[in-house]
Amino acid sequence: MTASAIPRGPGATTWAPETVTDEPYNAQTPWAALAEPVTPVGAFFVRDHFGVPRTTRERWRLRLGGALEAPFDVGYGELLAMARRELDVVLECAGNGRSLMTPRPPGLQWEQRAVGCAHFAGVPFRSLAERARIGPDAVEVVFAGADSGTVHGRRLAFERSLPLSVALHPDTLLVTHMNGEPLAPEHGAPVRLVVPGRYAVADVKWLVGARAVTEPFVGVFQAEEYVYVASRGTTDGPVTTVRVKSLITTPEPDSAVRRGTETAVRGRAWSGAGVPVRRVEVCVECEDEEGVEDGDWRDAVLETPTGPYAWTGWSYPWTPLRPGQYRLLARATDEHGDTQPPRAPWNAHGYGCNPVASVEVVVV
């Protein structure tokens, strides 16, 4: 399904994500939408491996199977009737920013905007697992999407596992609603998984199966793809927790800023696993005839995030005095003391790219 074929809700025509590939449809969030604390659904980035499968709320069922003492199926109406939880969560694709790495790793050439923050509502997976009674030998739960396709010559469904401790965390949700509306087809309707604080590959869309397994799962999307592979071919392990990161959303790249007037440099910062952002610093570098002038790093003012897994808005007042070409840099640090590195930490598949944010603007 292409973007234009997707029916959108009222007001959705205001926004459209920027297409990266048509088949399957992949698109990134436009700059203007990143200025909103909650990203509008119609602007929210889309990452599909195989395309949108046909499912309806009426026909949808989730099968809980595998190493369970009381396996069962659940329908959409039944799921909606269960105790619900609402959370604002940043979703970021593990490959976000890949095109900034040198040399460029193969894969979707995301710029920096395969990210968004939405208000999700759903039922903790834990509630269903309690009813299904996970067997004593189970070590993981494999979550299966209804979409499938061919990868490396093999026909596969989109499947990903979580260790029991993560699957059973009260914030791991079977999501039915995004920003107050039933999930849109491209975001996993009618039900998707959302695992706050992990790279969004964990958030299986079009969820139709959850099976407990007694051995760690080695599916393609976590054993071959979505692993950090260092330059010498050693496997550093699967992508899991989102790395600390910031984005400068205003001014937009390559825009013109007026000399002598105060401009708010604004952006967003986030980190994984519910770890709060402690600090964002901004540095202004100016290129003039005398070469590059390095500014100092100064603290931006942080807004209060709308929840533990939401991003933190920040701003920094800037009055440029001289015309010329400028580079604005932003660097976030989280409560663990983790901070953005000066350059993209390279790996063969281009995951977890979180270098210092940088935007070039011209002062006129």
Rounded to the nearest whole angstrom, what is the least distance from the CB of residue 30 to ligand MTE in the complex? 14
What whole-number distance in Å separates Cα of residue 19 and Cα of residue 27? 4
Reduce the DSSP state of residue 227 to 3 states and report it. Answer: strand
Cis-peptide, bond into residue 10, ω within 30° of zero: no
Reduce the DSSP state of residue 269 to 3 states and report it. Answer: strand
Q: Check: CB of residue 160 under 8 Å from CB of residue 142.
A: yes
Tell me whether residue 115 or residue 359 sits nearer to Mo ion (CB atom). Answer: 115
Residue from 25, 38, 43, 48 that binds ligand MTE (CB under 6 A)? 48
Residue from 201, 247, 310, 329 that binds Mo ion (CB under 5 A)? 201
Quick note: the x/- pattern for ligand MTE over 78-107, rule CB under 6 A, is: -------------x-x--------------
Residue from 15, 25, 45, 318 that binds ligand MTE (CB under 6 A)? 45
Tell me whether residue 47 or residue 349 sits nearer to Mo ion (CB atom). Answer: 47
Tell me whether residue 145 or residue 320 sits nearer to ligand MTE (CB atom). Answer: 145
Nearest residue relative to ligand MTE (C-beta): 145
The pair of three-digit structure tokens given for residue 197, joined into one six-digit string: 């604080």
Residue from 20, 93, 207, 208 that binds Mo ion (CB under 5 A)? 93
The pair of three-digit structure tokens given for residue 310, joined into one six-digit string: 């939401």
Reduce the DSSP state of residue 83 to 3 states and report it. Answer: coil
Rounded to the nearest whole angstrom, what is the least distance from the CB of residue 149 to ligand MTE in the complex? 9
- Cα distance from N-terminal residue to C-terminal residue, the chain: 44
Quick note: the x/- pattern for Mo ion over 40-59, rule CB under 5 A, is: -------x------------
The pair of three-digit structure tokens given for residue 271, joined into one six-digit string: 């980190």
What whole-number distance in Å separates Cα of residue 341 and Cα of residue 97? 14
Residues 209-268 that bind Mo ion (CB under 5 A): none
- Phi then psi dihedrals of residue 211, to 5 deg: -125, 135
What whole-number distance in Å separates Cα of residue 42 and Cα of residue 95? 21
Residues 174-233 that bind ligand MTE (CB under 6 A): 187, 200-201, 203-206
The pair of three-digit structure tokens given for residue 164, joined into one six-digit string: 């029991």
Interface residues with Mo ion (CB under 5 A)? Answer: 47, 93, 201
Interface residues with ligand MTE (CB under 6 A)? Answer: 44-49, 91, 93, 145, 147, 158, 187, 200-201, 203-206
